[in-house]
Amino acid sequence: MTAPLPLNGIRVVDFSIVWAGQSVTMYLADLGAEVIKVENPRIWNPLTRASAARLTPQMCLALPPWLGGHPNNDPGPRPWNNSPAFIHILRNKKSFTVDSRTAEGLTIVQSLVARSDVLVENLPVGTLDKLGLDDATLQSVRPDLVILHQPSFGRHGDYRDGRGYGSHMDAVAGSTILRGYRGTAPLSNVQIVPGDFTAGLHGAVAVLAALRHRRRTGEGQVIEVSQADSSACQFPQAALDAAWNGRASGTLGNRSVEGFVPNGVFPCRAPGDWIAISCRTDEEWAALVRFLGAPAWAEDGALATADGRAQHEDAIELRLADFTAGHDQIKLFHALQDAGVTAGPVLSAAQAANDPHLRATGAWTTLPATDDYPETEWAVPPYRFSESPVGLRTPPCLFGEHNEYVYREVLGLGDEEIEELRAAGHISDTYGLEVLGP
Amino acid sequence: MDALEGLTVLDFSSHIAGPYATKLLADLGARVIKVERPGGDPSRGLGPWLGDTPGVERSGTYQYLNTNKDSIVLDLTAPGVEPVVERLVNMAGLVVVAFPPETRTKLGLDYERIRHTKDVPVLEVSNFGNSGPYRDYRLSDTVLYAMGSEMFSHGTADREPLKMGGTAALIQCGAMAAIAALGAVYGHEAHGIGQLVEVPLFDVQINNVDRRISAILAYRFTGRVNGRPLSAGGGLFSGVHPCADGYVEVTAAGGEYWKRFAEMVGDPALQDPKWLNPATLGDPEARAELDAIAYGWLLPKTRLEIWTEARKARALIAPLFTAVDLYNDPVFRQRGLWTEVEHAVLGKFPMLGRPYSLEGTPWRIRTAAPMLGEHTDAILAEAGFNAAEIAALRTAGVAA
């Protein structure tokens, strides 16, 4: 694999926060762009590098593992360099610090923009404008710049001032109302935020398309991914049933919008073990019936078609749950797949981390220990390129890790200027008192 | 000009994930030649149906996923299909293949075979990749989310784990495949690299930033495992709450967000510092007091009234919309979440619009999803087959 990386030579100025924006730049970095994360020692961006700048082991244990599971539940003095929620999306990136709110800071950022190809941001609407980095200014600094804005509800229209994290955008996008248990009110819906993931994916697609256009024409442009719009595009079945037939879809629980019957999640022998089973075709149903030993209830001809099975879905689910409850989760998974039935275990984080298939196919790579985290396995990107070395090339960037490189090599500043900027609080590998307190 | 103008994609994918990837490319201007099996992409059999009437051209799933594409019907198992495939590959700047590995080899669509015809980027979308113990296993959206993603912690502790709505997991995988495809195309056009890009759906979900990738790392760091909560909601007044005409999602658990919430509701009792003390969470009397105040404010108001107030107060509250709400909402309409397509036979009908707007190279619908085999003759002619040869291909059952 000696071919160049696809985005070799592309530089990205990264003002992104939380997941939706930071994952856009992760994909661009994976593909070979030089992503320079712009960080400010005087500002703490919520849910961007960690849940809080000061964290104790007790606080970590009170948080759910995905957010509080810092190494050994002890984040040490720099929680922003070892949060399980955010550190992985810092892979392949570079971090430099500057206080963009000051005149000299703004000059530095503009100087970086002038040397860059893409700018990505998902700060609250208007934040960049207030800094003096509105689109027109950015384009005057770098005429062929590709600018990606990722506002929650768009930069235009009455909802542009809407605030929120993924859960609020997913609520508006119609995602929240579609999940939950059947027959229960949305009150009981717990939070997941699929929209964050999807907004990051859509954002990267749009930037890549714009980069292709730029390479062919020399033209940059402004892109907007409204995260609510992006999330709504995950649910075309509900959207078109509304637009075409006036129907407001509600939750199906684990049943299938594609009409697969049965389609659900069933208990296995050990407490806490579950298996998902889908009969996508009548052939798969027939295979399942054979697997069950062709009991009389299942051989009923009325169940031979999906429409027929839909009439008896409750009963089928009870019978299946009764069956799966007597079996080992993983053995049943393999046996069902071998029998031609679509099935899979509901994998916990521990099971996924040790999954034999992921291990055999190289889904992880080991990174050495740093002062902030121990040697451990990290996920590699889910796209495997046969020639270009797309992958986990450099570890998650620590706060301010690449100040020397950015100030000296990218911006071309000398010792004296760098010392002045350091003294003025722009250059740091830790947060200032404004964030950390006395 | 379209962003992907001049890019021809030869698309052998079907169902949801692969077609969503190529839809994203097609809607940005790529020409996508969709190769359908005789009888068509199985997604033509999936609802919802235009006018609630099933039919091979009336599937909402198909119509959404295949806008701006051309359809050619080929029987890839028929003798004599090889030269057709070769000529189509020669027209392409990207080939998309999404078959189970064994089928792909049987059909002669392995990367080495394609590369033998033309050194072009090939995107291979698969369930579990080309090796490993699950290589030949089947997937559905639900099984994919169960194995790959964070289903384990979604739902409540006393019940079964839950999936997301619709087929969101497959749509997400399609978007990830589009990233890989555009990376490969950029590498090809900018640096002359033809290569195979594999995107296993399982791996896409393992990398899901909606907590799975975090949950796995947290496990490696601590041995702790994400679980399902005992109940929905959390903190003092967060989660989904009822109002006059439905529900709103609220985050007012503490700190700045609590202050904005308290300011918005305006009851002086909420200014008491006790609300910022985590210990208050465990005080049923205090919680009853808060519920009375908060519901007294929420219940008389509609979702949109609440959202208007929340936006003014910069509070983290948003309405739960259904798809019908979204369809009727004037702001989403004006912003272009909805559009219309003109179908040759069915006429005009509404369509879900764009996930993004590109000012210089707008996302746009040029054509509705193709009818089955609508472009078979035209594409074969473009590939250099004359009328007699096309007729022969049809007679032999190669094309339809």
* Cβ distance of B211 and A206 shorter than 8 Å: no
3-state secondary structure of B107: coil
Domain count, chain A: 2
In-domain check, residue A258: no
Partners of B331 on chain A (C-beta within 8 Å) are 157-159
* Cβ distance of B172 and A7 shorter than 8 Å: no
Å from B387 to nearest chain A CA? 36
* Cβ distance of A173 and B189 shorter than 8 Å: no
The HSE-up count of residue A263 (CA atoms within 13 Å, CB side) is: 27
| Same-domain check for residues A269 and A137 | no
* Cβ distance of B207 and A5 shorter than 8 Å: no
In-domain check, residue A71: no
A220 within 8 A of A143, measured Cβ to Cβ = yes
* Cβ distance of B209 and A163 shorter than 8 Å: no
* Cβ distance of A174 and B326 shorter than 8 Å: yes
Mean pLDDT of B191-213: 97
| Same-domain check for residues A174 and A99 | yes
| Same-domain check for residues A225 and A307 | no
Edge-to-edge strands of the sheet including A93-97? A93-97, A34-39, A11-15, A118-121, A146-149, A221-224, B357-358
Question: Considering chain A, what percentage of its residues have pLDDT values greater than 70?
Answer: 100
Mean pLDDT estimate for chain A:
96
In-domain check, residue A250: no
Q: What is the pLDDT of residues B13-72, one digit of tens each?
A: 999 999 999 999 999 999 999 999 999 999 999 999 999 999 999 999 999 999 999 999
| Same-domain check for residues A136 and A228 | yes
| Same-domain check for residues A198 and A305 | no
B217 within 8 A of B208, measured Cβ to Cβ = no
In B25-44, the residues whose Cβ lies within 8 Å of chain A are 25, 28
Å from A119 to nearest chain B CA? 14
* Cβ distance of B142 and A175 shorter than 8 Å: no
> pTM of the entire structure?
0.98
- Domain-terminating residue out of A346, A376, A409: A346
- Check CB contact of B65 with chain A, cutoff 8 Å: yes
Distance, in Å, from the CA atom of A119 to the CA atom of A112, rounded to the nearest integer, reads 10
Partners of B128 on chain A (C-beta within 8 Å) are 357, 361
- Domain-terminating residue out of A346, A368, A399: A346
What count of CB pairs under 8 Å joins A to B? 549
In chain B, the domains with their CATH numbers are 8-210+333-395 (3.40.50.10540), 239-322 (3.30.1540)
Q: What is the pLDDT of residues A187-219, one digit of tens each?
A: 888 888 999 999 999 999 999 999 999 999 999
Position A87 pLDDT exceeds 90: yes
Which pLDDT score is estimated for A1? 53
> Residue A32 sits in a domain of what CATH number?
3.40.50.10540
| Same-domain check for residues A90 and A204 | yes
* Cβ distance of A274 and B161 shorter than 8 Å: yes
Distance, in Å, from the CA atom of A83 to the CA atom of A64, rounded to the nearest integer, reads 12
Among residues B162, B158, B97, which one has the least CA distance to residue B130? Answer: B97
R_g of chain A computed on alpha carbons: 25
Residue indicated by tokens 């949305």: A186
Which pLDDT score is estimated for B235? 72
Dihedral angle over CA of A381, B171, A200, A72, nearest 10:
-50
| Same-domain check for residues A109 and A45 | yes
| Same-domain check for residues A142 and A93 | yes
Locate A42 and state its tokens.
Answer: 């005087």
Partners of A65 on chain B (C-beta within 8 Å) are 215, 218-219, 222, 224-226
- Please name the member of B147, B178, B314 whose beta carbon is closest to the beta carbon of A205: B178
Q: What is the pLDDT of residues A296-336, one digit of tens each?
A: 999 999 999 999 999 999 999 999 999 999 999 999 999 99
Which residue range is the domain that position A106 belongs to? 11-49+86-233+359-436
Among chain B residues, CA nearest to A204: B179
In-domain check, residue A256: no
* Cβ distance of B217 and A267 shorter than 8 Å: no
- Please name the member of A198, A208, A213 whose beta carbon is closest to the beta carbon of B183: A208
Which pLDDT score is estimated for B238? 87
Distances (CA, A) of B113 to A16, B105, B120, B194, B269: 42, 9, 11, 13, 73
Position B233 pLDDT exceeds 60: yes
Which pLDDT score is estimated for B232? 81
Mean pLDDT of B127-149: 98
Q: What is the pLDDT of residues A131-183, one digit of tens each?
A: 999 999 999 999 999 999 999 999 999 999 998 889 999 999 999 999 999 99
Task: Tell me the DSSP string of B345-360.
Answer: TTEEEEEE--S-EESS
Distance, in Å, from the CA atom of A320 to the CA atom of A32, rounded to the nearest integer, reads 48
In-domain check, residue A6: no
| Same-domain check for residues A277 and A306 | yes
- Please name the member of B180, B210, B355 whose beta carbon is closest to the beta carbon of A383: B180
> Residue A268 sits in a domain of what CATH number?
3.30.1540.10
Picking from A145, A307, A355, A386 by the largest number of B CB atoms within 10 A of its own CB, the best residue to mutate is A386
- How far separated are the first and last CA of chain A, in Å rounded? 50
Task: Provide the phi-psi class of A229: left if phi over 0, else alpha when psi is between -120 and 50, else beta.
Answer: alpha
3-state secondary structure of B69: strand
Å from A414 to nearest chain B CA? 34
In-domain check, residue A386: yes
Alpha helices in A155-193 (DSSP H): 166-172
In-domain check, residue A255: no
Q: What is the pLDDT of residues A39-53, one digit of tens each?
A: 999 999 999 999 999
* Cβ distance of B200 and A219 shorter than 8 Å: no
Dihedral angle over CA of A96, A97, A101, A102, nearest 10:
-110
* Cβ distance of A257 and B176 shorter than 8 Å: no
Residue indicated by tokens 């994203």: B24
B148 within 8 A of B204, measured Cβ to Cβ = yes
Distance, in Å, from the CA atom of A138 to the CA atom of A135, rounded to the nearest integer, reads 5
| Same-domain check for residues A134 and A273 | no
In B106-145, the residues whose Cβ lies within 8 Å of chain A are 111, 128-129, 131-134, 137-145
| Same-domain check for residues A172 and A273 | no
In-domain check, residue A90: yes
Position B279 pLDDT exceeds 90: no
Among chain B residues, CA nearest to A258: B46
Picking from B28, B140, B204 by the largest number of A CB atoms within 10 A of its own CB, the best residue to mutate is B140
Distances (CA, A) of A426 to A122, A129, B233: 22, 21, 40
Partners of A179 on chain B (C-beta within 8 Å) are 154, 162-165
- Check CB contact of B399 with chain A, cutoff 8 Å: no
Mean pLDDT of A16-25: 97
| Same-domain check for residues A194 and A330 | no
